[in-house]
Each structure stands twice: as structure tokens, then as C-alpha cells.
Structure 1
Amino acid sequence: MQKTMAKDERVPRGMSRSGLVLFSYGFRPFFLASALWAIVSIDLWAAFLSFGIPVATEYGTLYWHAHEMIFGFAPAILAGFLLTAIPNWTGRLPIAGRPLAMLFAVWCAGRIAMLLSSSSGVMPAVAVDSLFLPAMLVLCTREVVAGKKWKDLKVIAGLVVLSIANVLFHVQVVAGQSPELPIRLGLGAYVLLVTIVGGRILPSFTRNWLNQFGRTEFPVPYNHYDAASIIMGAVALAAWAIAPEALITGLCAAIAAAMNGIRLYRWRGWNVWPEPILFVLHGAYLFVPIGFAAVALGTLGMPQVAVLHVFAIGAISLMMLAVMTRATRGHTGRKVKSSRLTNYSYVILAAVALLRPSAELIPSFSSEILMASAIGWTVAFCMFAHEHAPFLCRERKPLVSR
């Protein structure tokens, strides 16, 4: 027994040879399930819009759609990322096996409960759904504190905001109010996480790629400007959440757009265009300054629904797709190279990010734009699921790199 334990202890993190492959590392179940739920949930929404098929009518189909995008689909990807990244940050062992399966079951229960809320009751569905984000918050806080990585507590703050926003969303819906504030709070939390984590991984990945070829056009290292950009972005997002049409919000958002645009320029992403799996990270981050610009335009009359979809699809969902493809390949022992199919998925989702906000800008074609966007979204995530499901479900990371 002792020999067996000693042998297991020598196996690197995420490379265990025993147990179900799907629950050997956090990114596996959550990345796969999030892609599948992205497909199912948006297609149910499209079926409601096109054919009037009832979906979560007691909760409200519109609110269900918004909730499942912000507090259903996206948290699964965030969970997969954090459960994989935090062990690398802290040096602690990852959550795997039964504990991971239980956490995943909590997320799945929330999706089923919300979808069947008309049958099971809204309040029981709300209670079940409200469990996942606090569970993730407790788990991630424990790991960061135990690893004494105090700088990473700012990522935990994003989970705090998301947990509060989710509960507030439910409270306002149950009270018969429009959950506009929690929608903007939730989106703002994700955008802020993109600016924090993106500022960590984009320059690093870009520098490493350029260094392989002996090139020296490296991104500008993290400095006070990056910190100022993040803070300005946080201020603009808070103002947008509270007073989306106030002139001060527009001013803060315009400054944040400029600062984040300059920040992206400092990372010199044009140098990595031959590597799509890396270049797409820069492309997704481009939607951060575009989103802030849209917030500024929102104070001048641009529809708020259009504004939030710039952030939701471009800055958040495209970045998540890019991170999922990269992490899945890297953590299953493959070369971090995107296939042609993956590259198509990037292009299609980026096109959706540009197309969907126009539904409110061109009302006469809104139905066609909504359907085209739903189709594009579905195709992009179907491509991810088709190509990456075997990597996530069946194949372990080899002990010797390929």
C-alpha cells in the first residue's frame, strides 16, 4: 500500500492514471458541459422566439435566457479555468475525483432546476441555482488563502460580485422587477476578470511565442499603467451598473476604452497573427475597449441591450472560447496549435459578436439578425464540442510530452 501511495505521489498534477478521466481535472467536465449548455440554451431561446415554444415560463423566458448566459453558461467556463489555474498559481493539488464530481453535479442541478422551474416551482429552482457560485467562492478562496497567494484575491473578488449578482437577479425577478442591475453587475465582473487575467496571460503567452523565434518585439511588461487601466475599467463598470445613462458613466467609459485600447496595443498582438490560437486572445480583448466605447455611446442613446451584448459575446464569450481551446490542448498533452475547425469557430463567434448588437440598431431586421446570431453561436460551440470532447472525456495527459 505504501509503495502504491509513493508511486501515486510522484505522478504530476492532473496526470492520475486512476478514476474517471472526465473528473481528473477541473477544466474537463466544466468546459465540455458549458459548450453543450451554450448550444442547448441558445437553441431553446431561438425556438421560443421563432415558434413560441414555452421555456421556463413561470420564471420568464427572457429572464431565463439572460440568467443562463450570465449565471449558467459562463460560470462553468470560469470554474473550469479557475480549478485548473489556481493549482498552478498556488502549487497545491487540484480538485479532482469525487469532490469535483459533486461540484459539477451542483452546477448541473442548477441548470435543470431553472429549466424545469415551471414544473418544480420557481423558489426551489432559485434555491438550487444559488448554490454553485458560493460553493466556487468558498473553494477558490480556501485554495488561494492556503497557498498564500494574496495577489490572486482580486480574482476571488470577481466571484463575490457574481455570487451577489446572481442572488440579486433572482430577488428582482421573483419580486416582478427587471433584473437590469444584476445583469450589468454580472457582465461587469466578467469583463473585470478579463482585464485582470488577460493582463496576466496575453503578454506572457505573446512573449513566450516570440521568444521561440528569437524575436525581441516583446509586449511591454506589466507596470503601473496596467494597474491604472484595470482600476479605470472597474470604475467605469461600476458606474455603468448603477447609472448606465449618466454622463459621468460615459466619460469614465470613454477613458477606460482609450486606456484599454492603448494597453492592448502595448502587447503588440499583431506580431502573433500567424498563430491563431494566440492571436484570438488579442482579438477577444479588443472587444474590451469596444465594449467600453459602446457603454459611452449608451449614454448618448445607443440601446443598452446592444451595449451588453458587445461585452457578453465579444469580450467574454470569445475570450472564453479562446481560453478553452488553448487550455484543453495544453492540459491534455497536445501542441498548443489550433486546427482549421477551431479557427473557423473563432471567426464565426467574432462575427456573432459584431452582428448580435445590431439587432437593436436595425429593428426592421431584428428577427433575422437574432436567428443568424443564434445559428452562428450554435455552430461555433458545436465545433468546439465536436473537436474537443474526445480530448476532455477519453484521453489522459501523457506522462511524457508528445
Structure 2
Amino acid sequence: MLNRLLAAPLMLCAFRPLFLLAAGAAVLGMAAWLGFLLLGWPLPGVPGGPVVWHAHELLFGFTFAAIAGFVLTAVPEFVDGPAAPRPAVLALVLLWLGGRVAWSASGVIGPWPAAVLNVAPVLVVIALVAPLLWRDPARRHLSILWALLAWLAVTAGFYTDVLRGEPPMRSLHAAIGVVMVLVVIVMSRISMRVVNSALDTLGETAVSYLARPPRRHLAVACIVLFTLADVLAPGAPVAGWLALAAAAALFNLQGDWHLGRVLLRRWVLMLYAVYVAMALGYALIGVAVLTDLGSVSGGRHLLAIGALGLSIFVVMNIAGRIHTGRELDTRRWIPIAAGVLLLAAVARAAWSWWPADGTLLWLAGGGWGLAFGAFIAHYLPLYWRPRPDGGLGCEGVMDSD
């Protein structure tokens, strides 16, 4: 039975089960949250209450599954190394599933099982990719390892606070910062392929796109400094100024993308929109902290839905299709779903100002669920089938000959 499961097409590469789990967690988690807020449905009793349950599942459930699926697929490609062994991927999937159950039951069985089952998958991913990243002669991608270690720290920090009986929300806020850093790191690698490929398609061979390290490093540094200030001195003026600095650095980073009409190509525009949402999110946080105008929560949700959600959706559609041996999907549902996600982010940010308007919350949660539900509908059939090009693993589209 185990051998048959490991040999199934679903286990050809780590992203197949993990991307599906991420999308499933996105849909089910948002349905439960909307039911709680708008229909009075009960949520599991966990340390910190419903908001902590919601943020925990968004980050340590949905987001981590997507990160793990991408990293275990991309790192071997980046460094020309072997893919993650199928037994290790299956163990990771089972640990992730156990973490979801244990966290939701933590109000009954205590937080220790959830702590073990949510920290262990991070250790598994690090153990699988750290040797590959370190053995790369140029060590060009070690920033991915540092980001994973930071994710391990915020996950452990969350459960340390829970076990001590302290408010754990600060670790969840820190986790958003770690994801934003990881998005900038990963986007620099993906965007150079996507944008330059689009330039070639348009025949603009005289122009090339380069994700310049100084702009990227400045953006990462500002995000890290804001995250530290947000954890150590939440609501302090220094946190507000650093949020505005992060927004400015991200707007500056967008300057690399301004190469003419290529910006209107579907994949380029969707990736660019991630940076726009991220910059606006930090800008809203900074303004809210410094002036009491707007809402810090609104800014955080622009980061969580607009930047985090959209980046995961787009990357899953790029990596999750190419590495099944298929060319990128050119159908309209992808840009439509991406637009719906952005509208959901705006609606949720607006709800922070007008919480009496339940329509905004329906739009936000419904848009999120529709986008990731569409992903499941389109990719579940692909992931249950072998690759059409004869490939046996995670490699990209193979030549027909």
C-alpha cells in the first residue's frame, strides 16, 4: 500500500501534494473564518482565541505548505541537485496534516502536540535543502536558507509564547515579515526569467530586465527592521517610520520593472502587482501608526491577501504547471482570479475602516476562496496524472525529442 502511494503521480514531486494542501487550506480556512464572523459558526478553542487560530492557519498552515512545495521544487533546480525523496515528502505531508489537527485540538489536548507537529515540518524542509544550498559552489541562494531559519525561529517563538501563556500574536506578525522577505528573494529569481522571456516574445531584444541587488537588499533590510520594531515596540513611532521606509524601498524596487509595454504582459503584471500590494500595505501601516489615520489591520491584510496571497497564487501557477511537463496556462481564468484576489485584499483593507459593512467581508473572503478554489479545480486533475512529456520527477518541460 505504501509503495503504491509513493509511486502514484501525486508524489512525483513535492509541489503536487503540498500546493493542493495549501489551496485546500486557503479555501477551508477562509470558509471557517467567514462562518465565524458572519454566521456565528464556532471555531476550535485554541490559546489566544479565534483571531490567533485564523492567523496561525493562514501562516503556518496555508503559507508554509506553499513555501515548502516551492522550495523543495525550486532549490534542486537552482543548484542542479536531486529532488526530495518521496518518503520524505510523504512524511512532510503527514506532519503538516497532523499539525492542523493538533492545533485545532490544542484547547483540549494542550499545545505541546501542535508545537512538535508544526515545528517538525520546518526542520524537515531545512534538512532537505540546506545541504544543497551549502554545497552549491557559488552559494548564490543561501538567502533562501536564512529565510527558512527565520521561519523556524518565528514558528518556535509562537509556541514558546503559547507554552508560557503569553500573547503569541507578535510571532504571527513577525511571520508576515519573514514571508515578505522570502517573496522579495524568490521574486528576484522568478521575475528575471518571466520578464526577459516576455521581452523576447515582444521582440524587444535590446532591452533586458535585471533584478538589481542594491534595490532588493535595501527593500529586504527595511522589511527586516520594520518587523523587528513591530515585534519589540509595536505601535511606536519608529515602527511607523520604518514601515514607510519599507514602502519607499519597495516602490523604488519597482523601478527595475519599468521597461515599457512588457509590464502589461499577464505574468509580468501579476508579479509586479505583488510589489504594489506590498508597498501599499507597508505604507498604510506607517500612516496608521504615525497619524492614527487608517488602520494597521488594513495594511497587514494588504500584505497577507494582496502580497502574500497573490504571490503564492501566481508562483503555484508558474512552478506548479511547468514542473508537470506543461507550458504555462494561457487561459483567462488565471488573470481573472489574480484580479479577484487583489479586489479581495482591497475589500478586506476597507473593512478595517468600515467593519459594520458585512458585504466587504463577504467580498474579501469570497474572492480569496474563489481564487484558490479555481486553482484546485484546474490542477487537481493534472496532479493525479503522469507527466505528458515522459518526465519522472520535478524537471521542467522536456524537449519532445
Q: What TM-score do the two structures reach when normalised by structure 2? A: 0.89
Q: Which moved more, 1:213-222 or 1:59-68?
A: 213-222
Listed one character per residue, the Cα deviations across residues 142-183 of structure 1 (whole Å, up to 9, x for unaligned) are: 221233453322211211222121222223334443323101
- Mapped pair 1:169 → 2:169: no
Deviation at 1:274, TM superposition (A): 4.9
Question: CA contact under 8 A between 2:202 and 2:262: conserved in structure 1?
Answer: no
Q: Is 1:99 the counterpart of 2:88 in the alignment?
A: yes
Which ranges of structure 2 fall in alignment gaps of 5 or more residues?
A: 1-5, 391-397
Does residue 115 (structure 1) correspond to residue 107 (structure 2)? The answer is no
* CA positional deviation for 1:223: 4.0
Q: Which moved more, 1:53-62 or 1:319-328?
A: 53-62
User: CA–CA distance in 1 between the matches of 2:117 and 2:218?
Assistant: 39
Distance 1:221 1:69, change over 3 A: closer
> In the alignment, does 2:205 pair up with 1:213?
no
Q: How many residues align?
A: 384
2: CA distance, partners of 1:306 / 1:274: 27
Which residue of structure 1 aligns with residue 377 of structure 2?
386
Residues 64-83 of structure 1: pairs in structure 2 closer than 5 A: 64-83=53-72
1:53 aligned onto 2:47: no
Report the Cα distance in structure 2 between the residues aligned to 1:238 and 1:386, rounded to whole angstroms: 39
Matches within 5 A, 1:2-401: 19-59=7-47, 60-148=49-137, 150-215=139-204, 216-268=206-258, 271-300=261-290, 301=292, 302-365=294-357, 367-399=358-390, 400-401=398-399
The CA distance in 1 between the partners of 2:213 and 2:77, in whole Å, is: 23
RMSD, matched Cα:
2.1
Would you say the 8 A contact 1:276–1:338 is kept in 2?
no
> How big is each residue's C-alpha offset from its partner over 1:169-222, in whole Å with a ceiling of 9 and x where there is no partner?
223334443323101210000001111221222133201220233203433452
- 1:60-80 Cα offsets, whole Å, 9 max, x none, are 322111100011110000011
Could you tell me how far apart the structure 2 residues matched to 1:327 and 1:243 are?
38
1:118 shift after superposition: 4.1
Alignment CA distance shift 1:51-1:362 (3 Å): closer
Rounded to whole Å, the distance in 2 between the matches of 1:67 and 1:269 is 39
CA contact (8 A) 1:270 1:279 kept: no
8 A contact 1:269–1:279 mirrored in 2: no
CA contact (8 A) 1:35 1:382 kept: yes
Relative to the length of structure 1, the TM-score reads: 0.89
Percent sequence identity is: 26
Structure 1, gaps ≥5 residues long: 1-17
SS in 2 for 1:228: helix
Tell me if the contact between 1:55 and 1:61 (Cα under 8 Å) persists in the aligned partners.
yes
State the alpha-carbon separation in 1 of the partners of residues 219 and 27 from structure 2.
Answer: 34
